[in-house]
Amino acid sequence: MSSSKAAAGKLLETAGSRQKRIESFKLFLLILPCLALVFVFHYMPLWGWVYAFFQYKPGMSLANCKFVGFQNFTNLFGNPIMRENLFRVLRNTLGIQCINYLLMPLPMLFAIFLSEIKSTRFQKCVQTLTTLPHFISWVIMFSLMSSLFGSSGLVNSLMSKFGAEMTVNILTTDKHVWLIQALLYTWKNLGWNAIIYFAAITGLDQEVNEAAMIDGASRWQRILHITIPLLMPTFFVLLIMSIGNFLNSGIDQYLAFCNALNKEHIEVLDLYVYNLGIGSGQISFSVAVGGYCTDPVHLCQHCLEEDPRHQRVLIERRIDCYDSHPAKNQAAPQTPHQDEHRR
């Protein structure tokens, strides 16, 4: 009798464990598409790092390219010009990102103040209008800012009508570039970032507010001592997630607003990598700089010849750069010194 009970218990335990495995497998199937997306878009692109170890040229297969090992990485810090450019773009990236972090409380404060408005229709209208800019591209945003703050924009036109001699032109100046770009980013994403805080405010325990009202607390006191402290966990979670993308500042905003006057201060790491890889064709070195880098040490011959400071680099790297512009190399005769160095 006892043996039959033990056997029945084992059967039930086996059936229970099998049911758990089936349920676990079903849950795994549910997250499988997400895992596939993460693998395809986050892990497979890591194969591109292999280009940093070759002298890759567009149009050629990787097997036909010269293997250079860690040369692109050593040249990144070994050449003073490249090192100076890297530190400049890192300084721009860190500066703009730090200002963005300082402005992160603004969406939370915006959500708090908007939630205090009793008119639901007005709340929805303001929330919709502030969320729409998030879905507008930076090219359109640049056109909008240019029509407002350009040299012949609306603001300057109104100021000239009222007899003001000074002009406001925030798009073509090298002053306060970091602050201007951070404010533009915050304004564009204000409503979108406030959605999470709206959800957090909706989930707050209203009994705490009611108890504070009974005790005679004013609206500002309730916001300062109840609402803001209860929203701080949400704020710190978003802050930590933003810090995880510290160097990933994006490219579309800075590419749209970049010009000859503010390039020294607006060129962030992503834009620098883009200019190296796509603009200069230095694919291999750009993979070494930020994940895509191209080698600015292997600068094109016509770029180096414009500045006497680059002549030494030109002589040392002429062999590597010689094949980058075959048409120009055939047209331009070699000097005796260059021919001797090439031999």
pLDDT tens by residue, 134-172: 998 999 988 888 888 877 778 888 888 877 766 777 787
Q: What is the mean pLDDT of residues 27-39?
A: 89
Cα Rg of the chain, angstroms = 29
User: Which H or E run includes 249?
Assistant: none
In whole angstroms, give the CA distance from residue 55 to residue 77.
Answer: 18
The tens digit of pLDDT for each residue in 187-209 reads: 999 999 999 999 898 888 888 88
3-state secondary structure of 148: helix
260 Cβ contact partners less than 8 Å away, ≥ 6 residues apart = none
81-84's contacts with Cβ under 8 Å and 24+ in sequence apart are 81/296, 81/309, 81/310, 81/313, 82/296, 82/297
> With pLDDT > 90 as the criterion, what percentage of the chain qualifies?
17
Q: What is the mean pLDDT of residues 19-37?
A: 86
| Domain positions in the chain | 91-243
297 Cβ contact partners less than 8 Å away, ≥ 6 residues apart = 72, 75, 76, 78, 79, 82, 285, 313, 317
- For the chain, how are helix, strand and coil distributed in percent, rounded to 5? 75, 0, 25
Say if CB 295 and CB 282 are below 8 A apart. yes
CATH of 91-243, one of 1.10.1660.10, 2.70.98.40, 1.10.3720.10, 1.10.10.10: 1.10.3720.10
180 Cβ contact partners less than 8 Å away, ≥ 6 residues apart = 170
Q: Indicate if the pLDDT at residue 223 is higher than 80.
A: yes
Q: What is the mean pLDDT of residues 232-240?
A: 91
For the chain, the residue count is 343
The tens digit of pLDDT for each residue in 96-148 reads: 999 999 999 999 999 999 888 888 889 889 988 999 999 989 999 888 888 88
What pLDDT is attached to residue 1? 52
